[in-house]
């Protein structure tokens, strides 16, 4: 009968193999107007237009087995309202375009 340590090692190896074999997908992010900041998981990953791969959007954490499958991508530009798009790794689009709208005027206090 396999020991608990052996079973754990086999499960970890299978998990690493399955995740390591996942193909990398590239998503092109554009906006109108261009030059907007693109953030994923709170980290700046570029300005539009930019190409982003799944490894950037869905960072793997093998040690605690927490693998991301969904992330919020925030596109922002000064003077415009932020746009947040939730991207799922299983159905990640090849292209993402966001039309940014002017921000409402700030209220005077």
**CATH code reported for the domain at 24-99:** 2.60.40
> Which of 13 and 43 is assigned the larger pLDDT?
43
For residues 106 and 87, give the distance between their C-alpha atoms in angstroms, rounded to a whole number.
Answer: 30
pLDDT of 30 > 90? The answer is yes
Chain segment 47-106, per-residue pLDDT in tens: 999 999 887 887 765 555 556 678 889 999 999 999 999 988 777 788 999 999 998 886
Vertex 103, ends 97 and 104: CA angle to 5°?
145
pLDDT score for 108: 56
Q: What is the pTM of this model?
A: 0.69
pLDDT of 2 > 90? The answer is no
């Amino acid at each position: 009968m396999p020991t608990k340590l052996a079973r754990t090692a086999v499960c970890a190896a299978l998990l690493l193999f399955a995740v390591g074999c996942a193909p990398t997908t590239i998503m092109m992010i554009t906006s109108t107007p261009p030059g907007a900041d693109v953030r994923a998981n709170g980290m700046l990953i570029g300005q539009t237009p930019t190409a982003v791969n799944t490894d950037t959007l869905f960072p793997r954490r093998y040690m605690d087995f927490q693998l991301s499958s969904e992330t919020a991508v925030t596109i922002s530009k000064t003077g415009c309202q932020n746009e947040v798009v939730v991207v799922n790794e299983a159905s990640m689009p090849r292209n993402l375009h966001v039309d940014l709208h002017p921000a409402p005027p700030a209220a005077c206090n």
